[in-house]
Structure 1
């Protein structure tokens, strides 16, 4: 089977940084080829070279498509050669319809006017190919992230793409959407379309890919058939060392109860629907309490309401922190009570992307860096440096905007922001989503260290190995209720899934 794509000796430099160093990357026609590496390994830079974002002349090396050298001077040139890239941040237009998005730049025009009937018919043809059975006139903003991703794939197919690049395609997808995407990729492969699959989720890589190339520090480490690889082998190649324990769990002596929630319910103000039903649980000092459940189980709704962040709900029940009942109406009340919450969507709710590291770090604790109601900049910088050094943040300096950091380092800034308040309770909602394996390990070590210091930690995660590997105890939610509780010794994926799907503990 011949190579459809060959990138040879690709070297790309930015001021003071060599992002790619003599990278070789080859993909066979009709295969699903995974590209793995830590954040900063050079994956995105390599794909930007391939897709024409970095035009010919701004890098060294050569690109061959079907054996012929190509020199892309723009994104348009790359598209003309049959290359389409679907970024993690989707490029759909929310106010436009499904059909308009799918056929964007390929509109069917008759006498300088769009033929809407033909447009919708053509859209349905492409939708059928990817199993998207919805009205083509539906506004895209009304669709789930999973369906928006399918629209991006359909858009790529309309341009007769021969190579489709998917960058972290399942980060925000439900389990059912992930399975649908996998089936579509298999179908595209059967039709001869080549896919480059970039993902931190190694279980998906091993399930869907034919081959895997690993980059580290801007260099090609290896290309191997997936059949020869395991998660451990890929991780070792990615980080340059063996992570003997992916989850650095340490048994600890737990303290007294720090948080107790009794018969807690949340009712949606508008619909009157009960979102959370009679939830009761306790958390001890130094304990890591895992929270598992399927999408829609109510995990995020429960814990955002506990910090006063779920504005559409009416609450009932009691919340006690160290034996004292708290009436938490908003996040400020939660901070005063010693509760910190790391959101699952760090870019929307955890960070101000246009601000630097220092200002993001002190955002939730401005009183600590103020004198006479004015921010003391020297004190602010000192506090930010101390906490970010503790987090082992990797950044040139604290004046860098957080938008320029990798996912793992952004998450460290979010943690720094909350830890500056010395919380007694730390709620972590999907704390390692979109983070590479090496950075995950560093986040896990931080979590363990905080627990050893007596912080009560609630770990909400959709990744069952993460819940099992890090938790002292696991709560399982289903349909807005706490369906069951499992100790570390008795918790298994099978038992968690049985409770999460409405069954009984097995």
Structure 2
């Protein structure tokens, strides 16, 4: 890196929040005109680093130089004035306003004291033509699909004549043609000397468009280099904190490798699932009494598979067969009636209802079976709650305690009990041990194993490879929404899974070649 060509230098950034450290030693360096990848798993610190740069947060320690000067950006608005534009994955525009109004929001053009709509509409059209889009710019933004809204957000960002554009998962809503158009725009910006920080979990895209890469893990920059000097396999290993060489399985979970087995009955057989760009050709099969691990990097389609099976998201193509019968669930209620339970990845957003009690949260899915003429059978409800508090060892002051007052591990147990009280045949578990203490994690892992021993089928999604390897009878690896490897228990290893994540195939690790 040439010092006089450096646009952004963030060195040893630390950011603390109450009870946690989001960044502890994060650095990133971006040259003028460079397309720089910023990657890491959930919780690695990517979003926090971007928010520190753009003035949403102030760092507790570290230095920031932008365009050769110490940065003192206090707000996103100031960041835009200084030449930094951010395009977030969640589109942060005003849906009921027109395309033109969104592009010029906060910097409208006036003539004789009145809004100059003719000039703003013309400039909006010129910007969109650059993105190969032909739109009625006077229409409300929400009348267009998400992909088009994303392109409008990109048009707004480049209209600021920025020195640095930050793109957070910009291709997540785009089809292949739209991705190609976006990459053309990024290359145009590069030719004009505009730098781009590109946040994405799609490895193939990184190698197509990026020059350099910064890898974050647990708030620390673990590597930073030209992207053509790191293989996909090494990149994945660094993201996950795994040894690229021989990785020995040392029994780091509470699963018992000797207890695994699967019955003959097929509870779930999902074939060729497709849903936009999120699922491209996903396949997974679960037998009774079997724990099937679903592995892949963030953005690989793991949660999307579970949500599709549960009827929470619709699919464009593919078949889902439950207990030998091809099924198409229109809503989760249909899946629940078919004996399927689903613990979602984010228990705070999609799981618990924080201001309701343990009793109310635990029996939420069972209410239709506990209600007669609109009245809940309180005695039956309390019996169920008492039984599962005891069975799962839920530590609570009592059934009426608000669930938000429980620890993360005990909240997770309540969510598991919510489904277990319905006696499901198939349980979909998305990151069931994330963010909980070691003791609770051990208890939940043992419970999952006991459920499989009793004949329940379990689809286990986890970012922890040890949990997947030691807890699964069979592992399905996803990459960019497609099933790229299916690994039997006898051939399970971290190297095999990492290779499939990186290359989309089951091959010998450590080849150093990029597919």
Normalised by the length of structure 2, the TM-score is 0.63
What is the DSSP-based 3-state SS (H/G/I as helix, E as strand, rest coil) of the residue aligned with 1:92?
coil
Matched, 1:240 2:241: yes
* Cα distance in 2 between the residues matched to 1:11 and 1:336: 49
User: What is the DSSP-based 3-state SS (H/G/I as helix, E as strand, rest coil) of the residue aligned with 1:372?
Assistant: helix
Q: Which structure 2 residues correspond to residues 363-442 of structure 1 after superposition, within 5 A? A: 363-365=364-366, 372=379, 379=386, 382=389, 399=404, 418=419, 421=422, 423-426=424-427
Taking the TM superposition and a 5 Å limit, the aligned residue runs for 1:14-53 are: 14-53=17-56
Cα distance, 1:44 vs structure 2: 1.4
Deviation at 1:224, TM superposition (A): 1.0
- Please, which runs of 5 or more residues in structure 2 have no aligned partner? 248-256, 270-283, 295-303, 315-319, 371-375, 396-401, 435-440, 462-475, 489-502, 506-515
Shift in CA distance, 260/94, structure 1 to aligned 2, threshold 3 Å: same
Is the 8 Å Cα contact of residues 342 and 414 (structure 1) preserved in structure 2?
yes
Residue 203 to residue 139, structure 1, CA distance change in 2 (3 Å): same
- The aligned counterpart of 1:485 is none
The Cα of 1:51 is off from its aligned counterpart by: 0.1
Q: Residue 236 of structure 1 aligns to a residue in which SS? A: helix
C-alpha change, 1:223 and 1:334, in structure 2 (3 Å) is closer
Counterpart of 1:216 in structure 2 is 217
For structure 1, list consecutive stretches of 5 or more residues without a partner in the other structure.
Answer: 262-280, 291-299, 312-317, 389-396, 436-441, 473-491, 495-506
Does the 8 Å contact 1:346/1:414 carry over to 2?
no
Judged with a 3 Å threshold, the aligned counterparts in structure 2 of structure 1 residues 351 and 152 are, in CA distance, closer, same or farther, namely: farther
Post-superposition shift, 1:126? Answer: 0.9
Supply the distance in 2 between the matched residues of 1:357 and 1:188 (Cα, whole angstroms). Answer: 53
The size of the alignment, in residue pairs, is 413
Structure 1 residues 349 and 467: CA distance shift in structure 2, 3 A? farther
Distance 2:39 2:414 in 1: 24
Q: Structure 1 126/7 Cα, relative in aligned 2: closer, same or farther at 3 Å?
A: same
Q: Kindly state the Cα deviation for residue 176 of structure 1 after the two structures are TM-superposed.
A: 4.0
Equivalence for 2:263: 255
Deviation of the 1:3 alpha carbon: 0.5
RMSD over aligned CA atoms reads: 5.4
Query: Structure 1 residues 322 and 180, CA, compared in 2 at 3 Å: closer, same or farther?
Result: same
Shift of 1:468: 2.8
Distance across 2 between alignment mates of 1:301 and 1:219:
31
8 Å contact kept, 1:353–1:401: no
Summarize deviations over 1:141-171 as a string: whole Å, max 9, x none: 1222222111111111122211111122233
How big is the shift at 1:234? 1.5
1:340 corresponds to 2:341: yes
Whether 2:12 is the aligned partner of 1:9: answer yes
